[in-house]
């Protein structure tokens, strides 16, 4: 197939390369000249603007967005609504909120342009291992883009999760689970590090990936990180979040579904970014006030 990939960051570029290697023709669009040059070296047809990218496609056209969620996606969809024609299709593969799919389907559907939301998991390893793809939309549109999905994913690595919005809802929950799994490994390894004996954290991670019930790809990544830097001295404890963990917790509250592990994991990330948190100062002040306990000056 021939398609345009809008956004040539870490995900968009690697996905484009995998598609080119799979025999597809990819027009890569990015405002960065450096990104476009890199794409051209990889056999990707380069374009600077949406208009140029669309002009390099043949009807029916497929445009895949791998750009930041929110306004960037909304602006791109609004522009594509006037650039594309009935029978064309737009895919949002970024980490967008699932509710946005309804708006995009309405905006494009009124012009006869199909829209699909596809949650993409695989990170920087997707180029080699393939991407897990969670699609939302009409079945007929899913079938139209299936050759692309089949190339991007490993065997049985893609699914039509449901109607419009289902792809990004499924990816949102996926990321919430990811937060909780990562937090579980982090806390367990921290406890092992505090053991009354010298624990070989790298060796333990390696061991647990050999038949243990807690084995996983995330644990393989922990094993790799600890092999390179056993004390993780090259890292700070600051942990960012993409927003999907927050959305998962919000949905859980709205629907009355208890998700204590995921919620705690999200809060742990917030906590990682605080130095001398005000809440801790309040605790110290209260201990000093009611019990005369010693405090440390700022």
Residue boundaries of the structural domains of the chain: 2-163, 171-194+230-272
Task: For residue 78, count other CB atoms closer than 10 A to its CB.
Answer: 13
**13-34 mean pLDDT:** 97
Give the rounded percent of residues in the chain with a pLDDT score beyond 70.
Answer: 100
Residue-wise pLDDT tens digits, 201-227: 999 999 999 999 999 999 999 999 999
Give the rounded percent of residues in the chain with a pLDDT score beyond 90.
Answer: 96
For residue 191, the model assigns a pLDDT of 97
For residue 244, the model assigns a pLDDT of 93
Place of tokens 């791998």: 66
For residue 76, the model assigns a pLDDT of 97
Q: Which of 129, 178, 220, 251 is catalytic?
A: 178
**4-10 mean pLDDT:** 96
**Residue 174, pLDDT above cutoff 90:** yes
Q: Which of 177, 190, 155, 175 is nearest to 241 (CA)?
A: 175
Q: Which of 46, 171, 223, 244 is catalytic?
A: 171
For residue 91, the model assigns a pLDDT of 98
Whether 206 is catalytic is no
Whether 171 is catalytic is yes
For residue 295, the model assigns a pLDDT of 86
**pLDDT-based confidence at residue 293 (cuts at 50, 70, 90):** confident
**Residue 151, pLDDT above cutoff 90:** yes
For residue 88, the model assigns a pLDDT of 98
**Residue 187, pLDDT above cutoff 90:** yes
Pairing outcome for strands 45-47 and 158-162: unpaired
Q: What is the mean pLDDT of the chain?
A: 96
Residue-wise pLDDT tens digits, 74-95: 999 999 999 999 999 999 999 9
**Residue 160, pLDDT above cutoff 90:** yes
**46-67 mean pLDDT:** 97
- Does CATH place domain 171-194+230-272 in 1.10.3470.10? no
**Residue 292, pLDDT above cutoff 90:** no
For residue 242, the model assigns a pLDDT of 85
Distance CA 166, CA 264 (A): 25
> CATH classification of 2-163, choosing from 3.50.50.60, 3.40.1710.10, 1.10.510.10, 3.40.50.720?
3.40.50.720
């Amino acid at each position: 197939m021939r398609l345009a990939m809008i956004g040539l960051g870490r995900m968009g570029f690697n996905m484009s390369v995998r598609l080119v290697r799979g025999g597809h023709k990819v027009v890569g669009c990015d405002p960065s000249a450096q990104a476009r040059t890199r794409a051209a070296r990889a056999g990707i047809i380069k374009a600077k603007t949406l208009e140029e990218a669309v002009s390099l496609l043949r009807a029916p056209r497929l445009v895949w967005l791998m750009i930041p969620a929110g306004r960037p996606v909304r602006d791109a969809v609004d522009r594509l609504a006037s650039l594309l024609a009935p029978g064309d299709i737009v895919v949002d593969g970024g980490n967008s909120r699932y509710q946005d799919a309804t708006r995009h389907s309405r905006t494009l559907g009124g012009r006869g342009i199909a829209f699909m939301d596809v949650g993409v998991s695989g990170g920087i390893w997707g180029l080699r291992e393939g991407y897990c793809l969670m699609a939302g939309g009409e079945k007929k549109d899913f079938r139209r883009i299936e050759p692309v999905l089949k190339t991007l994913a490993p065997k049985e690595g893609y699914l039509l999760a449901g109607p419009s919005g289902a792809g990004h809802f499924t990816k949102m929950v996926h990321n919430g689970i990811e937060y909780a799994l990562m937090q579980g490994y982090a806390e367990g390894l921290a406890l092992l590090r505090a053991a009354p004996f010298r624990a070989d954290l790298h060796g333990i991670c390696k061991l647990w990936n050999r038949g243990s019930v807690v084995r996983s790809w995330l644990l393989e990544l922990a094993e790799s990180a600890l092999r390179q830097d056993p004390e993780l001295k090259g890292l700070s404890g600051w942990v960012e979040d993409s927003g999907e963990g927050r959305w998962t917790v919000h949905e859980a509250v709205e629907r009355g579904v208890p998700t204590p592990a995921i919620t705690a994991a999200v809060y742990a990330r917030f906590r990682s970014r605080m130095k001398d948190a005000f809440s801790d100062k309040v605790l110290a002040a209260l201990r000093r006030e009611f019990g005369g306990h010693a405090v440390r000056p700022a």
